C-alpha cells in the first residue's frame, strides 16, 4: 500500500553533534530522507556546525529555515532533530515559533547527557583517575575517527561538549523550557506557542544477541562501551543519551530497541530485530499530516 507523508509543511531533518554526511559508507539520513520523499513529503537536510553550542547551531538553523520557507512558499516547517539537533530545533521554535509547526526530538539530550558529563571530567586534570580519563578520552577519539564531516562552518568542540552536559542543558532549559516535562520521566505539553512537541528514542538491549547483525557494527560496539559510564540511567540509555533525559512533549516511545545511531538509519545488510527505524519517521510524518501539519 502506498504511504502518504505529504505533510502541509516541509520537513527538516536536523543532524546532531559531529554532524556528518556519512557514517562509514552510509549517508546520514539517506534512508529516512528517501522514504519520506517517496511518500510525498518535501524534505530538507540543513547543515549546521558539526561542533558548537546549541544557540549557535540554532541560529544557523533559523537562517536555513528562512531559506526553505522562501524557496517553497510555505509559512512554517516541521523540525525533526536527532541528538543535539533536537536542541537546535527547540531553540529555533522558541525564538521563532511563527515559523515552526512542530519540533520532534529523536534521541535528544533534553536534560543533558551523562556521557558528556563524564567526558568533561575526563578532560579536567585530576577529576578522574588518570587511567580512566585516558581510556574514556581515547575511546571517544576513536569513535569520532569513524565519523566524517567537512563543513565550512565555525567549529567549537569545547562549547559543544559543555552544551550537552547536564549543567549546560539545564541552563539552556531555563531559557527555552517549551515542551519539557515537569516531572522526571514524564511527558511535556504537546502544544506551546502554536508549536507541537514530540519525542522518541531507543535503548541498548541488555543481551547483545538481541541486537541481531547490528552487534557486529563497530559503531555499536563503541556505544555499548559508552553506556557503562551512565550512573542515573545505567540500563536505560542508547549509548549517548538516557531514556528519560530524551523526553519532550508527547513521548511516542522512549525504549525502542535502537542505539543512538541506528535510530536514524536502517542500512541494508544490518537489520535491527523487530523494528525498522525508517518506518518510525514514516509513521510520524503521517502523524504530522493527520494533525494538519
Q: Is 83 annotated in the active site?
A: yes
Catalytic residue among 30, 220, 260, 284: 260
Degrees to nearest 5, angle at CA 33 with 27 and 39: 150
Work out the number of other CB atoms within 10 angstroms of the CB of residue 283: 15
Choose, from 30, 82, 199, 238, the residue flagged as catalytic.
238
Paired strand residues for 242: 237
C-alpha cell at 155: 567549529
CA distance 197 to 102: 6
Counting every residue written for the chain, the total comes to: 293
The answer to whether 52 is a known catalytic residue is no
C-alpha distances out from residue 118 to 106, 133, 155, 240, 253, Å: 22, 9, 21, 11, 26
Catalytic residue among 49, 53, 83, 105: 83
Q: State the DSSP H helix or E strand holding residue 48, giving kind and residue range, or none if neither.
A: none
Collapsed DSSP state (helix, strand, coil) of residue 101:
strand
Q: Which residues are identified as catalytic?
A: 83, 238, 260
Amino acid at each position: 500500500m502506498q504511504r502518504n507523508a505529504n505533510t502541509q509543511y516541509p520537513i527538516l531533518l536536523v543532524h546532531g553533534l559531529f554532524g556528518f554526511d556519512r557514517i562509514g559508507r552510509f549517508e546520514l539520513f539517506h534512508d529516512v530522507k528517501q522514504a519520506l520523499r517517496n511518500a510525498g513529503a518535501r524534505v530538507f537536510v540543513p547543515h549546521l556546525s558539526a561542533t558548537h553550542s546549541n544557540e549557535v547551531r540554532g541560529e544557523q538553523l533559523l537562517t536555513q529555515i528562512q531559506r526553505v520557507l522562501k524557496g517553497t512558499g510555505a509559512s512554517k516547517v516541521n523540525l525533526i532533530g536527532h541528538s543535539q539537533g533536537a536542541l537546535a530545533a527547540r531553540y529555533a521554535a522558541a525564538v521563532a515559533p511563527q515559523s515552526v509547526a512542530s519540533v520532534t526530538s529523536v534521541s535528544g539530550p533534553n536534560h543533558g547527557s551523562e556521557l558528556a558529563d563524564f567526558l568533561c571530567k575526563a578532560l579536567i586534570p585530576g577529576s578522574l583517575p588518570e587511567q580512566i580519563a585516558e581510556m574514556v578520552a581515547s575511546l571517544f577519539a576513536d569513535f569520532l575517527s569513524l565519523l566524517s564531516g567537512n563543513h565550512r562552518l565555525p567549529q567549537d568542540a569545547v562549547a559543544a561538549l559543555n552544551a550537552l552536559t547536564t549543567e549546560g542543558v539545564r541552563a539552556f532549559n531555563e531559557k527555552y523550557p517549551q515542551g519539557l516535562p515537569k516531572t522526571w520521566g514524564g511527558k511535556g505539553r504537546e502544544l506551546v506557542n502554536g508549536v507541537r512537541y514530540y519525542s522518541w528514542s531507543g535503548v541498548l538491549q541488555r543481551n547483545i544477541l538481541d541486537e541481531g547483525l547490528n552487534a557486529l557494527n563497530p559503531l555499536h560496539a563503541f556505544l555499548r562501551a559508552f553506556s557503562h559510564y551512565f550512573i542515573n540511567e545505567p540500563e536505560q540509555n542508547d549509548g549517548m543519551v538516557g531514556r528519560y533525559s530524551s523526553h519532550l512533549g508527547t513521548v511516542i516511545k522512549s525504549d525502542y530497541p535502537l542505539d543512538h545511531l541506528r535510530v536514524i538509519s536502517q542500512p541494508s545488510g544490518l537489520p535491527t530485530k523487530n523494528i525498522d527505524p525508517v518506518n518510525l519517521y514514516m509513521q510520524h510524518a503521517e502523524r504530522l499530516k493527520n494533525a494538519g501539519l
